[in-house]
Every structure is written in structure tokens, then in C-alpha cells.
Structure 1
Amino acid sequence: MRHSVNRPPTPDAGDEQEKELTLQEKINIKLMESGEKERLMDLLRERLIECGWKDEMKAVCRTFIMKKGRNNVTVDDLIRLITPKGRASIPDPVKAELLQRIWAFLNATTL
């Protein structure tokens, strides 16, 4: 079979079989379809505000902006700075509560 220079080869009929979804993809679909993902995101936002995490991250950003100068900082700079610090500083009780809620959802749902 010859291939066109401008487009990829046409797949064979056997290649058109649907790929099996991973467990993570199935869980994510169920969370989104049920609206549970949005409820979990709201809970996470609420808990992070309650424990002061949001204010702490805001302070880190402000300090960085003051150090570098307001006109010398991009959103990408802030994201690169805050992402590892933010993930590492989420309190364990918040993580545990979210994990418990996810497990409860999975136990009540059939995949």
C-alpha cells in the first residue's frame, strides 16, 4: 500500500476497534456524570480556604512579585513557582477527607 505525502495511511478495518478505557478514565467519567467531581472540587476549595492554604499561597505569590518586580513576572512564572509548593503544602486531613469521599462514592457506584 502506498501512503500519501499529505495524509496518514487509512487504518485497516481491524484498527477501528474501540480502545478499552482505563480504570482511572472510568472513575473520572462517573465522577463527572454524577456531578460528584464538582462537589469534591467545591469541598476542596472550602477546606483550603478554612485552613489558610489559599492565603499562604497568595502571600508566596506576592512576595515573588515584589522581589522580581510587577512588570517582570508572568502568570507562567507564578504557576511554575506555586504548583510544587501548593501541592506539597495541602494539609493531610484535607487529603484524607477527599480520599474518604472518593472511596465512599466508588463503593456506592458500579463501574
Structure 2
Amino acid sequence: MKHSVNRPPTPDGVVDQGKEPTLQEIINIKLIESGEKERLMELLRERLIECGWKDEMKALCRAYIKKKGRNNVTVDDLVHLITPKGRASIPDSIKAELLQRIRSFLVSTAL
């Protein structure tokens, strides 16, 4: 399982026995169990490639590496540089499409 630098790993459906899961945790578990989360992630990857976002981020990384020198850059440096710019530059149309797909999923599961 891949882990993001900026967020904890996704729960595997196991919630602490002592507390009630939040609505966000319940939705996340349902998305994982149904396989919808993986489908949404694949859709996001496709859309980001289609709109040129991935190439733009790659170019930013290459420019930073060239500026700092190959031996003076870590993956963490790149993540900290790219994450805010990357999140801010995702087209609104892609965000809206994903939000609509999530809403449709929630309606269909009657959550």
C-alpha cells in the first residue's frame, strides 16, 4: 500500500473499538470496501494527465532540481515544494467531477 507524505494511511475498515467512527471515516470505509475509491483515484490520474497537470508538476520538479543541483535535493524537498502548487492548480472542473461522483456514490449507497 502506498502512503502519502501528507496524510496518514487509509484505514483498512478497522475502527477503534472504544469510539464511534466519524461520518468521514464511515464514508472512507464504504468507498474502500466497494472499490469506488480506487476507481476515483484512477479517474483523477487520467484527468490530471489529460489536462497537462502531471507534466506541469514534473517540469516544476525538474526546474527545482536543476536550480538546486541533483545531489542537493531530496524527495521531501520536492513534496514540500510541489504539494501546495499542485493542489492549487488542479482544475475546478476535475474537482467538480470527482465531487459529483462521490455524491452519486453516497446517494446510491443510501449512506
Percent identical across equivalent pairs? 81
Aligned to 2:21, what secondary structure does the other structure show?
Answer: coil
Cα displacement (A) at 1:18? 2.7
Unmatched runs of 5 consecutive residues or more in structure 1 = 1-16
Distance 1:108 1:47 in 2: 24
Q: In the alignment, which residue of structure 1 is the partner of 2:101?
A: 101
Q: In the alignment, which residue of structure 2 is the partner of 1:49?
A: 49
Equivalences, count:
96
In our comparison, the structure showing a higher alpha carbon Rg is 1
TM-score (norm 1): 0.84
Stretches (4+) displaced over 2 A: none
Unmatched runs of 5 consecutive residues or more in structure 2 = 1-16
Cα displacement (A) at 1:38? 0.1
Deviations 1:35-88 (A, max 9, x none): 000000000000000000000000000000000000000000000000000000
Cα displacement (A) at 1:110? 2.9
Distance 1:69 1:60 in 2: 14
Distance 1:83 1:31 in 2: 24
Aligned to 1:31, what secondary structure does the other structure show?
Answer: helix
Q: How does 1:12-31 map to 2 (within 5 A)?
A: 18-31=18-31
Q: Pick 1 or 2: higher relative contact order, CA cutoff 8 A, min separation 6.
A: 1
Deviations 1:6-53 (A, max 9, x none): xxxxxxxxxxx6311100000000000000000000000000000000
Aligned to 1:18, what secondary structure does the other structure show?
Answer: coil
